[in-house]
């Protein structure tokens, strides 16, 4: 009987979901800020929405191709720019949720959708008639008198076609389609494997004496995690950074430290169904083959042709200039830590799982600075408020919470960003806590880019900041580490880059800039987060409400350059490993572990430090579009250090004139002009790397 009643209900639900007329992903939004109706979107809405959006996109392209009029900027370039808007809307929602709430159903649908999207993209970019029209406008751009963003858009559209195969012959185009489709699936599989490996690894501790030295807050969080997993009275630790980092820093149990670090660094490398080594092999073979199709020796040169660095060798050489002083600093730090280890364990050699523990001890001994003590002043809500207050002070904007907007998860909070004249700059979502369906790390996503439509209406962006910070416990709010504080400021810097955008075209707006420039605005925000004037706007003791005392601020300032050899060596080694993969000119079979080892040996990596991201869970370069681009964090660090010095030179870290020029020349401009030109317009010269080396104490 029950089955008989259920079946019609299921059929009715599926039928309702298949209708486009009431699909919330396809309907105009009825809320005040035109944000997605997350409260109405169901799993069954996505596939029909994608099918409709792809069909509309193809029809829009056909209309451009079949236009009998001579190609012009308006009927070709601008029409192309405005096509696919529905697909952007649907994809902006789906792919944000895939990363933040990637259920099995979402992952399965992604595997269906990704080849369709790749095929659609290839059909457009490899459409010879369409490219003929684009090229005609590009060739006639000077005669047509195109200037400003219209000229930039024309050049970028043409370059995009060429970089994606429009000039290839028929045989190479066919092979390119096959490569792109397979790469899209490999990227999905890599990320899914990392999430599965992270979730599958659970290490329970039954005896509290094994946790000697671990702060009570970390123990409480681990106990609550264990109870939620059905192991009341035990403590659960996982490869999530919020779980294992306190153990590495404070726990006296050396074996537990080793186990947890190995759990983290061996994800995707276990010769099981989630092993990523074969995915890496196939990915690199295809990327290298793709570069060869375009006449490049290696994938780095193909990928970076439109970046500030322009080619792999330039990026690699920049990394090596910073690598040597960073490695030398790390070796000096190693000697100090080995001396501390000798006091506890005479004759033992410092290991990677000892570095965090003894560096925390050394920080306490040298500067009397205990990061666990600092966490009490870094309540998540207050830190976020401090980042907001900084942006308000610099740029004259206003940020306030909004109640009642639909969200995709109960952890998500919503805010409205307005300019000094009260006009809307954008809608901001924050999603800060880990869950099993969320990928590790922290990032910013555009659910919608800023753009101006045909009627002159300036559509403002919808942006989300995602993190994996400590969740509140039963008696404590979410308290951040110093690294977490920097991460929050960093990701909010990306968001600001999007909110301050004032471009005509969405493909040029906000963070749609070269990868080795996009990290500059985000890393710039980190320069302020520990400035005393800024800290006193957010660092309040979560129990007493007391503002952080000057004595603690002085300790933070004194320790600012502490352990920077380790930090930079860990980062740079990952960047160089990325480049080593993408500078390969031929790929047959890669022994991933051996390749890593040889890469570390060539750069002279000391064994006491493990590369920040080992290949098998290096999401940046195998899933998120940072392939041959992880160097951009260091490249951008040179830029952000130099930009911050523009404030320092005035003696006023909040100099409104400098902030106004920065907003005008860079933050509002997106990719409307060459990044190097925009930088020189702001600074009057190219960036000087000395400010980065000085800041890091290198």
**pLDDT tens-digit series, residues 81-92:** 999 999 999 999
- The pLDDT, as a whole number, for residue 125 is 93
Q: How many helices (H) and strands (E) does the chain have?
A: 28, 9
Euclidean distance between CA atoms 370 and 359, whole angstroms: 11
Assess contact for 570 and 327: CB atoms under 8 A: no
- The pLDDT, as a whole number, for residue 3 is 33
Domains and CATH numbers, the chain: 2-167 (1.10.1370.40), 201-265 (no CATH), 277-369+565-622 (1.10.1370.10), 380-558+632-696 (1.10.1370.40)
- The pLDDT, as a whole number, for residue 8 is 37
Give the tens place of pLDDT for each residue, 464-517. Answer: 999 999 999 888 999 999 999 999 999 999 999 999 999 999 999 999 999 889
Give the tens place of pLDDT for each residue, 321-364. Answer: 899 999 999 999 999 999 999 999 999 999 999 999 999 999 99
Assess contact for 655 and 606: CB atoms under 8 A: no
Euclidean distance between CA atoms 96 and 186, whole angstroms: 19
Is the Cα dihedral 590, 591, 594, 597 positive or negative?
A: positive
Residue 387 phi/psi, 5-degree rounding, is -65, -40
Q: Does 131 score more than 50 pLDDT?
A: yes
Predicted model pTM = 0.87
Instruction: Spell out the residues 6+ positions from residue 697 whose beta carbon is closer than 8 angstroms to its own.
Output: 329, 560, 561, 564
3-state SS assignment for residue 204? strand
- The pLDDT, as a whole number, for residue 175 is 97
Helix boundaries (H) for 410-481: none
Euclidean distance between CA atoms 566 and 568, whole angstroms: 6
Assess contact for 215 and 245: CB atoms under 8 A: no
- The pLDDT, as a whole number, for residue 12 is 37
Q: How does residue 7 score in pLDDT terms, banded at 50, 70 and 90?
A: very low
Q: What is the average per-residue pLDDT within 450-468?
A: 96
Helix axes 241-250, 352-367, angle to 10 degrees: 60
3-state SS assignment for residue 447? strand
Q: What is the DSSP letter of 458?
A: E
The answer to which of 26-35, 129-138, 184-193, 612-621 has the lowest mean pLDDT is 26-35
- The pLDDT, as a whole number, for residue 18 is 58
Assess contact for 524 and 493: CB atoms under 8 A: yes
Q: Does 140 score more than 90 pLDDT?
A: yes
Is the Cα dihedral 223, 227, 229, 234 positive or negative?
A: positive
Q: What is the average per-residue pLDDT within 613-617?
A: 96
Q: Does 143 score more than 60 pLDDT?
A: yes
Euclidean distance between CA atoms 666 and 572, whole angstroms: 26
Indicate the average pLDDT of the chain: 93
Catalytic residue among 225, 360, 491, 570: 491
The answer to which of 19-23, 76-80, 244-248, 267-271 has the lowest mean pLDDT is 19-23
3-state SS assignment for residue 694? helix
Assess contact for 99 and 447: CB atoms under 8 A: no
Q: What is the DSSP letter of 698?
A: -
Instruction: Spell out the residues 6+ positions from residue 99 whose beta carbon is closer than 8 angstroms to its own.
Output: 438, 439, 443, 445, 466
Helix boundaries (H) for 351-399: 352-367, 371-375, 380-395
Q: What is the DSSP letter of 439?
A: P
Determine whether 491 is an active site residue.
yes
Q: What is the average per-residue pLDDT within 56-75?
A: 98
- The pLDDT, as a whole number, for residue 681 is 96
The torsion angle over the Cα atoms of residues 499, 501, 505 and 507, rounded to 10 degrees, is: -70
Q: Does 11 score more than 60 pLDDT?
A: no
Euclidean distance between CA atoms 572 and 205, whole angstroms: 34
Euclidean distance between CA atoms 666 and 576, whole angstroms: 28
Euclidean distance between CA atoms 569 and 110, whole angstroms: 36
Q: What is the DSSP letter of 76?
A: I
- The pLDDT, as a whole number, for residue 235 is 98
Strands (E), 560-677: none
Q: Does 4 score more than 50 pLDDT?
A: no
What length is written for the chain? Answer: 698
Q: Does 192 score more than 60 pLDDT?
A: yes
Euclidean distance between CA atoms 414 and 429, whole angstroms: 5
- The pLDDT, as a whole number, for residue 19 is 64
Is the Cα dihedral 584, 586, 592, 594 positive or negative?
A: negative
Residue 425 phi/psi, 5-degree rounding, is -105, -30
The torsion angle over the Cα atoms of residues 431, 436, 441 and 445, rounded to 10 degrees, is: -40
Euclidean distance between CA atoms 619 and 608, whole angstroms: 23
- The pLDDT, as a whole number, for residue 583 is 97
Assess contact for 256 and 353: CB atoms under 8 A: no
Calculate what percentage of the chain has a pLDDT beyond 70. Answer: 97
Q: Is 213 left (phi over 0), alpha (psi -120 to 50) or beta?
A: left
Q: How many CB atoms lie within 10 A of CB 110?
A: 21
Write the CA distances from 473 to 217, 223, 470, integer angstroms. Answer: 8, 10, 9
Instruction: Spell out the residues 6+ positions from residue 118 whose beta carbon is closer than 8 angstroms to its own.
Output: 180, 181, 184
- The pLDDT, as a whole number, for residue 14 is 41
Residue that is written with structure tokens 């995707």 in the block: 268
The answer to which of 5-19, 420-434, 571-585 has the lowest mean pLDDT is 5-19
Q: What is the average per-residue pLDDT within 602-617?
A: 96
Assess contact for 593 and 268: CB atoms under 8 A: no
Euclidean distance between CA atoms 217 and 375, whole angstroms: 10
Instruction: Spell out the residues 6+ positions from residue 35 whose beta carbon is closer than 8 angstroms to its own.
Output: 29, 405, 406, 427, 447, 462
Euclidean distance between CA atoms 63 and 65, whole angstroms: 6
- The pLDDT, as a whole number, for residue 17 is 61
Strands (E), 467-588: none
Euclidean distance between CA atoms 199 and 443, whole angstroms: 20
* Pairing of β 235-237 and β 203-205: antiparallel
The terminus-to-terminus CA distance of the chain in angstroms comes to 75
């Amino acid at each position: 009987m029950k089955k008989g009643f259920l079946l019609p209900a299921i059929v009715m639900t599926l039928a309702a979901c298949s209708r486009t007329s009431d699909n919330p992903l396809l309907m105009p939004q009825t809320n005040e800020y035109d944000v997605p109706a997350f409260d109405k979107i169901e799993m069954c809405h996505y596939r029909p929405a994608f099918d409709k959006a792809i069909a509309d996109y193809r029809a829009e392209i056909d209309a451009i191709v079949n236009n009998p009029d001579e190609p012009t900027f308006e009927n070709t370039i601008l029409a192309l720019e405005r096509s696919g808007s529905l697909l952007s809307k649907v994809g902006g929602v789906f792919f944000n949720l895939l990363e933040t709430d990637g259920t099995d159903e979402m992952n399965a649908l992604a595997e269906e959708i990704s080849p369709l999207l790749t095929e659609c993209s290839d059909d457009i970019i490899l459409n010879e008639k369409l490219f003929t029209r684009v090229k005609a406008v590009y060739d006639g751009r000077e005669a047509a008198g195109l200037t400003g963003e219209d000229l930039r858009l024309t050049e970028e559209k043409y370059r995009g076609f060429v970089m994606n195969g429009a000039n290839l012959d028929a045989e190479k185009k066919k092979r390119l389609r096959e490569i792109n489709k397979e790469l899209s699936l490999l990227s999905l599989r890599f990320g899914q494997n990392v999430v599965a490996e992270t979730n599958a690894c659970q290490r329970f501790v039954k005896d509290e004496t094994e946790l000697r030295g671990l702060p009570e807050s970390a123990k409480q969080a681990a106990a609550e995690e264990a109870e939620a997993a059905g192991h009341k009275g035990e403590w659960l630790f996982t490869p999530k950074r919020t779980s294992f980092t306190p153990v590495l820093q404070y726990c006296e149990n050396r074996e537990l430290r080793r186990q947890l670090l190995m759990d983290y660094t061996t994800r995707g490398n276990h010769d099981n169904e989630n092993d990523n080594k074969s995915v890496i092999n196939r990915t690199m073979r295809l990327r290298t083959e793709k570069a060869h199709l375009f006449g490049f020796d290696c994938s780095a040169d193909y990928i970076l042709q439109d970046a500030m660095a322009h080619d792999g060798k330039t990026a690699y050489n920049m990394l090596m200039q910073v690598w040597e002083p960073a490695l030398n600093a790390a070796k000096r730090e190693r000697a100090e830590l080995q001396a501390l280890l000798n006091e506890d364990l005479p004759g033992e050699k410092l290991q990677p799982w000892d570095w965090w523990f003894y560096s925390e001890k050394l920080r306490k001994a040298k500067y009397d600075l205990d990061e666990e003590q600092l966490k009490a002043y870094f309540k998540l809500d207050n830190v976020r408020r401090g980042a907001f207050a900084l942006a308000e002070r610099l740029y004259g904007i206003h940020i306030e919470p909004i109640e009642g907007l639909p969200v995709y998860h109960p952890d998500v909070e919503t805010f409205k960003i307005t300019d000094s004249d009260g006009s809307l700059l954008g809608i901001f979502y924050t999603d800060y806590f880990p869950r099993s369906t969320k990928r590790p790390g922290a990032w910013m996503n555009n659910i919608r880019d800023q753009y101006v439509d045909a009627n002159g209406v300036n559509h403002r962006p919808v942006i989300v900041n995602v993190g994996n910070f400590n969740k509140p416990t039963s008696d404590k709010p979410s308290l951040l580490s110093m690294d977490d504080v920097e991460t929050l400021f960093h990701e909010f810097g990306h968001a600001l880059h999007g909110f301050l955008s004032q471009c005509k075209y969405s493909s040029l707006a906000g963070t749609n800039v070269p990868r080795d420039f996009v990290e500059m605005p985000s890393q710039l925000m980190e320069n302020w987060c520990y400035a005393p004037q800024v800290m006193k706007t957010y660092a309040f003791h979560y129990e007493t409400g007391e503002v952080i005392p000057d004595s603690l601020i002085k300790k933070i300032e004194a320790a600012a350059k502490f352990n920077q050899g380790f930090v930079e060596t860990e980062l740079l080694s990952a960047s160089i490993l990325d480049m080593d993969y993408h500078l390969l000119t031929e790929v047959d079979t890669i022994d991933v572990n051996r390749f890593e080892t040889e890469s570390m040996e060539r750069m002279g990596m000391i064994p006491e430090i493990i590369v920040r991201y080992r290949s098998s869970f290096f999401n940046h370069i195998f899933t998120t579009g940072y392939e041959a681009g992880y160097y951009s964090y260091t490249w951008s660090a040179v830029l952000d250090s130099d930009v911050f010095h523009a404030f320092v030179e005035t003696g006023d870290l909040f100099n409104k004139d400098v902030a106004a020029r920065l907003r005008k020349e860079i933050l509002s401009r997106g990719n409307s002009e060459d990044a190097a030109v925009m930088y020189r317009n702001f600074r009057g010269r190219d960036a000087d790397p000395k400010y980065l080396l000085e800041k890091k104490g290198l």
